[in-house]
DNA sequence: ATGCCGGGAGTATCCCGA
């Protein structure tokens, strides 16, 4: 089973790229972020035609998350983190093929410090609480999405330039480390512990051709799924396509 | 310190992203 996460940066503007990538790689489940579309404008018919059922949580202009399942309808279990309702569409969760999949788009948080950074840390704390609850239920869970965190120096093309950024400040790296310490496995790190692997290259400053990348998109596995992990990677070449997102899809494979 | 690019809304140019 192949599960991928892809920050599409506009699901409608990215539709040709998304459909081509789905056809070429045929993931069984996909987490999408940054739909940048209200619920009514989600391209459900085109995805259905491509063989994918979907659940989505949109928002006009910004944010927006969705879960796709090949040849199946995801069964939505929640569309925001527990607690107070979030005005921003950043979380959706669904059962797919015997797994629970949480799809998240963690706030960017810049500029830091400031209210956006405080919102990010608060959102991260709510995610930690929900993640702990999921682990306590001992279900097979994948938490996948754009975490907007580079976990370590290995995940940044030039760490010294990013020390004070909301994606790399000590508090957010610590929050990510605390999440892993609950018992989650960072699948890409697990399979490639010493490699520089990026999932994002800025549109600015020719970042793609310079390979000035960041690893921001992660797939975390609950203990039951850790034992089933057979592969993990990034579909880098998609970043070089015409009309590409600034993120490339990251994926894992699980044995049955 | 800022623009550099690009999507969306909307039709000029702003807001946002990371």
Write down the domain spans for chain A: 2-254
pLDDT per residue as tens digits for the range A34-93? 999 999 999 999 999 999 999 999 999 999 999 999 999 999 999 999 987 789 999 999
Per-residue model confidence (pLDDT) at position A167 = 97
User: Does at least one atom of strand B sit less than 7 Å from the CB of A205?
Assistant: yes
- Specify burial of residue A158 (Cβ count, 10 A radius: 0-12, 13-18, 19+): exposed
Distance from C-alpha of A116 to C-alpha of A169, rounded to nearest angstrom: 14
E strands of chain A, at which residues?
2-7, 29-33, 52-57, 65-70, 75-78, 91-96, 99-105, 141-146, 185-186, 200-201, 213-214, 217-221, 229-234, 250-254
Per-residue model confidence (pLDDT) at position A84 = 74
Report the percent of chain A where pLDDT is more than 90: 98
Closest residue to B18 (CA, C1′) = A108
pLDDT category of residue A244 using cuts at 50, 70 and 90? very high
Q: Which bases of strand B sit closer than 7 A to a protein CB? A: 3-9, 16-18
Residues 6+ apart with CB under 8 A from A48: A54
pLDDT per residue as tens digits for the range A152-161? 999 999 999 9
Per-residue model confidence (pLDDT) at position A85 = 79
Strand bridging mode A52-57 / A217-221:
unpaired
- Specify burial of residue A156 (Cβ count, 10 A radius: 0-12, 13-18, 19+): buried
Domain A2-254 CATH (choose: 3.60.10.10, 3.30.420.40, 3.40.50.720, 3.40.50.620): 3.60.10.10
pLDDT per residue as tens digits for the range A117-136? 999 999 999 999 999 999 99
Which nucleotide has the least CA–C1' distance to A37?
A: B8
Per-residue model confidence (pLDDT) at position A27 = 98
User: Does at least one atom of strand B sit less than 7 Å from the CB of A39?
Assistant: no
A195 Cα distance to chain centroid: 20
Residues 6+ apart with CB under 8 A from A110: A116, A117, A165, A166, A167
Q: Spell out which residues of A between 152 and 181 contact strand B, using CB within 7 Å.
A: 167
Distance from C-alpha of A199 to C-alpha of A239, rounded to nearest angstrom: 9
Distance from C-alpha of A245 to C-alpha of A26, rounded to nearest angstrom: 19
pLDDT at A148 over 90: yes
Which nucleotide has the least CA–C1' distance to A167?
A: B18
Distance from C-alpha of A4 to C-alpha of A249, rounded to nearest angstrom: 6
Which nucleotide has the least CA–C1' distance to A111?
A: B18
User: Does at least one atom of strand B sit less than 7 Å from the CB of A108?
Assistant: yes
Per-residue model confidence (pLDDT) at position A25 = 98
Per-residue model confidence (pLDDT) at position A41 = 96
Q: Using an 8 Å Cβ cutoff, are A32 and A47 in contact? A: no
Is A9 marked within a binding site? no
- Give the CA-to-C1' distance from A97 to B12 in angstroms: 48
User: Does at least one atom of strand B sit less than 7 Å from the CB of A69?
Assistant: no
């Amino acid at each position: 089973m192949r599960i991928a996460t892809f920050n599409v940066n506009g699901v409608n503007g990215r539709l040709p790229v998304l459909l081509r990538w789905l056809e070429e790689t045929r993931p069984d489940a996909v987490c999408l972020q940054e739909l940048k579309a209200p619920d009514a404008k989600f391209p459900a018919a085109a995805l259905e035609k491509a063989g994918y059922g979907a659940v989505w949580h949109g928002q006009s202009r910004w944010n927006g998350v969705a879960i796709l399942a090949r040849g199946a309808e995801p069964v939505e279990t929640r569309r925001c983190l527990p607690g107070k309702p979030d005005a921003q569409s950043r979380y959706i969760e669904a059962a797919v093929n015997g797994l629970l999949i949480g799809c998240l788009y963690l706030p960017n948080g810049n500029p830091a410090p400031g209210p956006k950074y405080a919102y990010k840390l608060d959102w991260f704390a709510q995610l930690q609480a929900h993640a702990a609850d999921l682990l306590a239920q001992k279900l097979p869970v994948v938490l996948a999405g754009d975490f907007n965190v580079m976990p370590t120096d290995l995940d940044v093309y030039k760490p010294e330039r990013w020390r004070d950024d909301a994606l790399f400040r000590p508090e957010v790296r610590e929050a990510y480390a605390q999440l892993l310490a609950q018992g989650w496995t960072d699948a890409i790190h697990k399979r490639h512990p010493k490699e520089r692997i990026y999932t994002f290259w800025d549109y600015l400053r020719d970042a793609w051709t310079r390979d000035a990348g960041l690893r921001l998109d992660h797939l975390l596995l609950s203990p039951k799924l850790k034992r089933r992990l057979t592969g993990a990677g990034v579909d880098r070449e998609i970043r070089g396509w015409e009309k590409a997102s600034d993120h490339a899809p990251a994926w894992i494979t699980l044995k049955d």
